[in-house]
Structures are given as C-alpha cells and as structure tokens.
Amino acid sequence: MQQGPDATAPQAAPANPAPRDACPACGEREFRTLFRGTDRLFGTTEEVFLIVECRQCRLIRLFPWPDPEKLHQYYPPDYWFDPAASTADSLAELWRRIVIRDHVRFVRRALAAAPPDSLVLDVGCGGGLLLRELHLPEHRAFGLDFSLDAAAVAWSTNGVPVACGALTRAPFRPCTFGVITMFHVLEHLYDPSAYLEAARELLVPEGRLVVQVPNAACWQFLLFGANWNGLDVPRHLIHFRESDLEALLEATGFEIVRRKHFSLRDNPAGLASTLAPWLDPMGRRVRRADGSPRARLLKDAAYFLLLLAAIPFTALEAACRAGSTVMIEARRKP
C-alpha cells in the first residue's frame, strides 16, 4: 500500500466475493508473468507471489490472490498510525499534517463543486487526519475504516465520527454525501467496482468522488520493477495504471473531472522506500527493527534525507504525467 508512516487504508477484512483466478476487469484467465515477489516491507510472510498482466486487457494484478483469512494476516496489527505513541511519532504527525495539504486542497476543490453544505465521507480514514484538516463544520465529516483502534483514535484525537466496516454495507442512506474520498483503498480490494458502485449510491446527484491509488504507469515501476514500493506484495491485489482506474470509474457511473500525479505525502516517500525498504519507518516499526532509540533516530534522519533527495525526481515524473500515484476527481453521472 502507500508509503512510509502514512498508512490509512483499511485493514483487510474484506466483505467481498471470494478471490478469483480470472482477471477482475475482463474475466480472461490467461496472463503473462512480470515478476515474483514477497512481503519485503513488513515480512509478514515468506510466500512468493506473482505479479501478472492480463493477456486480454493488460490489467496488472497479484497472483494468486490470498483468501480473505490469509490476507488479513498480511496486515500487521499496528498497520495504521497512532500520533500519540511517542515524541518521534508526534514529530511524524507534524510532518503528516504538512504533507497532507495536497490531499486537503484536492478534496476542498471537489467540495466546492459539490452541492452546498455537502457531507463528506472518507473511506479508509485511519486516524481521521484528513477529515480534521478539512475543518468542516460539525456533523459534516464522517469516516469509515476496518480498524476499531483507528476509529477510536479518529474520534478521541481528531473528533471525527467513524463507522467500522465495508463501504458495501455502510450504515448510510443513499444520496447522503456530496463528496466521498478513497485514498489508497481500491488497490487493496478484491472487488473495487463494488466499492465504486456503493459510493455512487451514497453520493448525491452531481456528487464528487476523489480516489488515489499507486499508478503502475509510472517511471518508478519501469525503473525498479519488482522492487517498486507501490506493488506492496501481497497487500495490493490490483496494480492500476491511470487508464485502468479511469476505465473502471467510467464503467461504474462516473465521469473524470481532473487528475493529479504528484503527492508530497506519497510520491517521495514511496521512492525512498523503494530504494531503501529497510529504512521505511512503518516497516521498521512493524518489524521492530530499530533496537535502541538512538538507532531509530539515525534511521529516521537517513530516511528523511533520502525522502528530500527523492523530491526532484518524483516531481519530474509527475510533471510528465507518470507520477507514482494518481489522484482523480470524478463526478457521479446522473
């Protein structure tokens, strides 16, 4: 999933159909193997998976898909982020508040285009930072996440009410929200179209959907292949290119409004973790790899320098519309 200490996507407890062998986009069973890989970020398993490309529609996916119970084990319990855990975590939280501004601005613009006084739902909201930073009036921001712990932090730290569960069974009436956001969610799902259809149901007419996923049509994937952090084996089930995501949005009743290829939160950190996965802060925390506080400080500093050094390349990549993530605003078709 996404990079560094910013993980907010849902823990895997998918309320989705059983895994399939066929391509989720076109049903084709034939594929071409691109790479082999294992969980190099968190080390939750030594099992080797394939990254394959559909012969028919060229969608890239993990193969085979783990069944839901297995997939659940690939998400460490502290997969999301607790800002109050330590001083270093508080500093990291400050950094997160700075770098999430891209996302906040993008969502605000979508909100400005939605009907007045719209409600906002953030799917895979984690600790609720994005919703808090939107600074909406009370009772206008809601979160959804699989993690009860994340929901508790979102409420106690950020004052955001969060429901726990899947979007396909979320406790909201149809036509409730003006804006629904899904940052780094779709690539974790067996059936992303079910989520998009559910989002469409929950949106008001003219409502806006904001989605962000790693973009397999990026330079980093071309350059680093199996080592590209955006693959996040075995947690990412589908590796969308921008065009795959757009086709899926169109097929589920949305019209693309605009795209953004750079994310200060995700793209430089992703390249840093591609180059030095052993320095990735979330990976170190999950693997308890730091030993002493001093070792942690040194590794944090090294990672931060690497991240800063990654900004020019990732900005260039994004300027050429080949950024390692893509953020899309789509309008609900009538």
Both tokens of 195, joined, read 């989520």
- Span 239-278, contacts to Zn ion by CB under 5 A: none
In contact, 249 and 196? CB cutoff 8 Å: yes
CA gap 273, 230 in Å, rounded: 9
Q: Torsions phi, psi of 309, nearest 5?
A: -65, -25
Least distance to Zn ion from the beta carbon of 26, Å?
3
Choice between 30 and 47, CB closer to Zn ion? 30
Residue 92 parent element (H or E):
helix 87-99
Choice between 26 and 319, CB closer to Zn ion? 26
CA gap 219, 228 in Å, rounded: 10
Least distance to Zn ion from the beta carbon of 58, Å?
7
CA gap 330, 301 in Å, rounded: 38
Choice between 23 and 279, CB closer to Zn ion? 23
Nearest Cα to Cα of residue 207 among 334, 105, 122, 84: 334
Least distance to Zn ion from the beta carbon of 225, Å?
21
- Span 9-68, contacts to Zn ion by CB under 5 A: 23, 25-26, 28, 54, 56-57, 59
Least distance to Zn ion from the beta carbon of 135, Å?
42
Choice between 32 and 36, CB closer to Zn ion? 32
Choice between 27 and 293, CB closer to Zn ion? 27
Least distance to Zn ion from the beta carbon of 65, Å?
14
Task: Please tell me the count of residues contacting Zn ion according to CB under 5 A.
Answer: 8
Least distance to Zn ion from the beta carbon of 119, Å?
36
* Number of Cα atoms under 13 Å in the Cβ half of residue 334: 0
In contact, 155 and 186? CB cutoff 8 Å: no
Choice between 59 and 199, CB closer to Zn ion? 59
DSSP line for 233-290: TTT--EE--HHHHHHHHHHTTEEEEEEE---TTTHHHHHHHHH-GGG-HHHHHHHT--
In the complex, the residues that contact Zn ion under the rule CB under 5 A are 23, 25-26, 28, 54, 56-57, 59
